[in-house]
Amino acid sequence: MLDTCPACLVGRMRLTTTTYVQVYDGTLIHAPNTAAWQCDTCGETYFADATLRRIEALIGTGGLPPNRYEPAPRESLASPGDAPAARDESSPDVFDSRSE
């Protein structure tokens, strides 16, 4: 790997471990403690090609895990007419940190 960061051209690339996070076919995949090159100045992270091939092979072996997240149907969301009532400015605000 290059010694100088290709992104910022200032920092130095250091071998470290980080979490690899990627979305494959709508499913979030993360692999903790993955070896990567990270810039000590800008934080840009690069994974070795062999590491990425290994992760993709592991995903391809068993297939993607089932995605159990199902977005709420559009009909169940609140309509614009259901907006909360305007705040009454005459009532004291219990979360206001100012003392009166």
Taking only the tens place, the pLDDT of each residue in 3-29 is 899 999 999 999 999 999 988 777 788
Contact between residue 16 and residue 5 where contact means Cβ atoms under 8 Å apart: no
Q: Per the domain annotation, does 94 fall within a domain?
A: no
pLDDT of res. 47: 92
What is the span of the domain harbouring residue 34?
A: 1-61
Backbone angles phi, psi at 60, to 5 degrees: -70, -25
Q: Per the domain annotation, does 72 fall within a domain?
A: no
Q: Per the domain annotation, does 67 fall within a domain?
A: no
Q: Per the domain annotation, does 15 fall within a domain?
A: yes
Structural domains counted in the chain:
1
Q: Per the domain annotation, does 96 fall within a domain?
A: no
Q: Name 37's bridge partners.
A: 15, 46
Which of 95, 6, 87, 92 has its CA nearest to residue 46? 6
Q: What is the CATH number of the domain that holds 36?
A: 3.10.20.860
Q: Per the domain annotation, does 5 fall within a domain?
A: yes
Q: Could you tell me the pTM of the whole model?
A: 0.55
